[in-house]
Amino acid sequence: MYFTAEQNRRYGSLVEVSPGILSCNSTTAIKTVFGSHQWRKSRFYSEFADFNGVSSLFSETKHERAQILRRAFLPAFARANLVAMAPNIFSHIYKFLAKLDEFERAGKPLEAYKWTRYLTFEVVTDVGFGGEYDMISSGELNHPFVKDFDGSTSWGLVKTVFPLVDKVPDWMIGKTMAHWRGAESRTLKHAQGGLAQWRYHKQIGKTANRVDILQRLIEHGDQHPNEKLSEQELETEIMEIMLAGGDTTATTVTYGLYELAKNLPVQERLRAALRAEICDPANIKLESLEAVPYLDWTVKEMLRTHPTLPSMLERVVPPGGAQVAGYHVPGGTVIGMSAWSVNKLPEVFPDPWAFQPERWEKPTPEMTANMLTFSTGPRACVGQNLAIVQTRIHIGTILRNFTVQLHPDTTPEIMHTLDNFQGKPVEDKVFLFFKRST
């Protein structure tokens, strides 16, 4: 992301960054590039995120199949379903608050990125398929699920650079990459185990009132037999729920807490707004959090300044070519736009590097149109509403109960974003102090 942003800064809004691949940061190009299903996702997505040759909603490059998968997912992210999921999310955040109390009593800083990952993975596996991973309690042991997740993601990136690497034997690629390759199959076993557990719970009547995503996917298949997902496709979607839904929100929450610790007036204004709306900090409801405009602005600013997918989102120019940013681009060319760059265009977001939730009090049409954190158009992130609800619950509940302060070791250099397609702090150890707020 840094390289492509620099090329655009130096040479203009449309720059060839490698053969056949252009980086674009023009405000006039977003509707063109992302606004039509004729602009399909590039092969990067399938090489990065297909599992055992089966594509997910995220990685599917064919529009027709992507639309079927999207229709299957939409009921899971309907407003009524999100409201029904909220108690599950709160049950995990209150476990997290107990962990914050534990660290405060010990006088120790929290390793924020590590623990927010455990929190968000617990949530996404719960609301995704009724998973029962108690990562917060066992966090000190470095839960194997998270290790396998990291290895699987690394292996996905290797495959995008070397598409034939799957055919190379372990002894030729070295121990580290062999471990990454094995992590992909181990993560698949987590998914298969989750699906088997869900089916067992359904058999004994435990899932009768579940509102998880898997439940909605299966219901959609029952109602629309022609769009029913196979067992392998369900496993792949569970993989995608785990991989895409957990780490992305953890990154948002970690950077959000960091920004609040760094910008104390913002933190104090947010806490005051939460206190004015929520009298009992031990009994917080989603509706109460949604009634706090400043929390909404703060979450939007977190998503703007630290998008969880900062790398280029690639689309393929349709046959016949297209006009993009004032240039004719031949069909078959790949054009990528980066949320990390577009979200900071100064002509759209004045003083773009400043963390200013107030800018969202009266957003301009240009701000809304150029907010690329969840992509946009027919292939925009289908789970963005769940991500926003989850972030709102996490940030609102934490800040209503605790103040957050920087540890001396948590510097801008530590928080520098590492672009592994999914962004993360360059150093995993992000230390923050939390103190109960009366």
The verdict on residue 21 lying in a domain is: no
CATH code of the domain covering residue 296:
1.10.630.10
Is 80 exceeded by the pLDDT of residue 91? Answer: yes
Which residues face 425 on adjacent strands? 417
The verdict on residue 102 lying in a domain is: yes
Q: Which pLDDT score, from 0 to 100, does residue 140 have?
A: 62
The amino acid occupying position 190 is H
Q: 376-427 pLDDT, tens per residue?
A: 999 999 999 999 999 999 999 999 999 999 999 999 999 999 887 788 898 8
Q: Which pLDDT score, from 0 to 100, does residue 188 have?
A: 77
Place of tokens 């070397």: 162
More confident residue, 44 or 132: 44
Q: Which pLDDT score, from 0 to 100, does residue 268 have?
A: 97
The span from the CA of 371 to the CA of 342, in Å, is 7
The verdict on residue 206 lying in a domain is: yes
Q: 302-317 pLDDT, tens per residue?
A: 999 999 989 899 999 9
Mean pLDDT of 116-123: 92
The verdict on residue 17 lying in a domain is: no
The verdict on residue 158 lying in a domain is: yes
Q: What is the mean pLDDT of the chain?
A: 89
How far from the centroid of its chain's Cα atoms is residue 231's Cα? 25
Predicted confidence band at 208 (pLDDT cuts at 50, 70, 90)? low
Is 70 exceeded by the pLDDT of residue 143? Answer: no
Scanning 345-414, the segments in alpha helix (DSSP H) are 365-369, 384-401
The verdict on residue 322 lying in a domain is: no
The amino acid occupying position 175 is K
Q: 340-381 pLDDT, tens per residue?
A: 999 999 999 999 999 999 999 999 999 999 999 999 999 999
The verdict on residue 10 lying in a domain is: no
The verdict on residue 251 lying in a domain is: yes
Cβ atoms of 379 and 66 closer than 8 Å: yes
Domain that holds residue 93: 35-307+343-436
The domain total for the chain is 1
Sorted by sequence, the CB contacts under 8 Å of residue 242 that are 6+ apart come out as 121, 124, 125, 128, 145, 149, 187, 190, 191, 194
The span from the CA of 176 to the CA of 181, in Å, is 9
Core vs surface per residue 152-162: b (16+ CB within 10 A) or e: bbbbbbbbbee
Q: 148-185 pLDDT, tens per residue?
A: 777 777 767 777 777 777 777 777 777 787 877 777 77
Indicate the length of the chain as a whole number.
438
